[in-house]
Copies of this chain bind each other. A is one copy, B any other.
């Protein structure tokens, strides 16, 4: 597999990395998610080259993660705003941030999230959608799904076979 094949791979990690698999895109997304929606504001906030920012924003628009909404006409100028897809991707950024909070700046989190629904400060937790319990390492075992491509990923298939005994009662 080459980098340019990521978007066609039978692998949803690779397909997602086709969108966010570079150093800057997650940070651009983070800014847009926080409401920093103008080109110059993002550029100044991140200190990213205008060329790279242009490319990244265009890619995000192409992937329908971000949309351009005109805020003036003469000349036409855009706010960059998350789509519904982009909002789901922003939740992934929350998980990324949470990892960084815990391991890379412990006790010095730059941002704290307040959950309006329960009215408490919180952090994101990766949970089981079925039972609601925290998904801890080792507590979830993968098995083949409907789109698993055996010929494309033989080593993954073998790895799945190796953990299959854990799936049996």
Interface SS of A by simple majority: mixed
Chain B min CB distance to A141 (Å): 5
B-facing residues in A94-111 (Cβ within 8 Å): 94-105, 107-111
CA distance A73 to B36 in the complex (A): 54
The size of the chain A interface, using a CB distance under 8 A, is 106
Q: Is A91 an interface residue (CB 8 A)?
A: yes
Instruction: Evaluate contact between A85 and B110: CB separation under 8 angstroms.
Output: no
Chain B min CB distance to A2 (Å): 7
Query: How often does this chain occur in the complex, in copies?
Result: 2
CA distance A150 to B143 in the complex (A): 46
- Binary per-residue interface labels of chain A (1-40) against chain B in the complex, 1 for a CB within 8 Å, 0 otherwise: 1110010001111111110111110110011001110000
Instruction: Evaluate contact between A145 and B22: CB separation under 8 angstroms.
Output: no
Q: Is A114 an interface residue (CB 8 A)?
A: yes
Instruction: Answer whether A135 and B103 are a contact pair too, CB < 8 Å, given A114-B167, A122-B129, A155-B44.
Output: no
A137 closest partner in B (C-beta): B87
